[in-house]
Amino acid sequence: MTQRVALATVLDRLAIDAVITGYAVAVDDGAWSDYGALFTPDGRADYRGAGGMEGPADEVARWLEETMRLFPVRQHLIVNRRIDLEDLGGYTGDRAEVRADYLNPMCLARRTASGPDADTSGKAGAATPDFVTGGRYTFALHRAEAGWLIRTVTVHEKWRRTP
């Protein structure tokens, strides 16, 4: 592998990592237009492994927007990212697969006299997660003119904890 190919591979890995991070941030922040922009025009998301739906990314984004209203506080932690780039005889191609584990604590919306985010002690922001789930994402990405985009994402929930 030449230095030029090695550098291009590192840049591809960094760009793919940025897409995966952007995915988590978009879901956590409820930035659904950002979520949709991460996908190819024919991109699909499959949340059936966590009790959700499967379909085109724009339809899934609308479903997530509605569903995630129940959890105004959420934080995806995506770790152990394994990026496999398409190998075209020593050169990277235009496809990649990523397997990454996730931990996702979320807090239910609360309605108290002290405000929607207060816990039973009346302290804002002190609530512990009501729902925690963990599992693995599998992503298929495609290099487009604008950069790397998600073609598919599938959620494989391994466990969940509820009160």
52-95 per-position pLDDT tens digit: 999 999 999 999 999 999 999 999 999 999 999 999 988 889 99
Are 151 and 142 in contact by the 8 Å Cβ rule? The answer is yes
Task: Report in angstroms the alpha-carbon separations of 156 from 29, 48, 52.
Answer: 22, 8, 11
In this structure, the strands spanning 92-107 and 147-161 are unpaired
* pLDDT the model gives residue 5: 84
Tokens at 79, concatenated: 């770790």
* pLDDT the model gives residue 162: 86
Quote the mean pLDDT of the chain: 90
Categorize the per-residue pLDDT at 117 as very low, low, confident or very high, splitting at 50, 70 and 90: very low
pTM: 0.86
Categorize the per-residue pLDDT at 111 as very low, low, confident or very high, splitting at 50, 70 and 90: low
In this structure, the strands spanning 147-161 and 39-46 are parallel
Round to whole Å and give the CA distance between 146 and 94. Answer: 12
* pLDDT the model gives residue 147: 96
- The arithmetic mean of pLDDT across residues 10-28, rounded, is 97
Question: Range with the lowest mean pLDDT among 67-76, 115-124, 141-150?
Answer: 115-124
- The arithmetic mean of pLDDT across residues 88-111, rounded, is 90
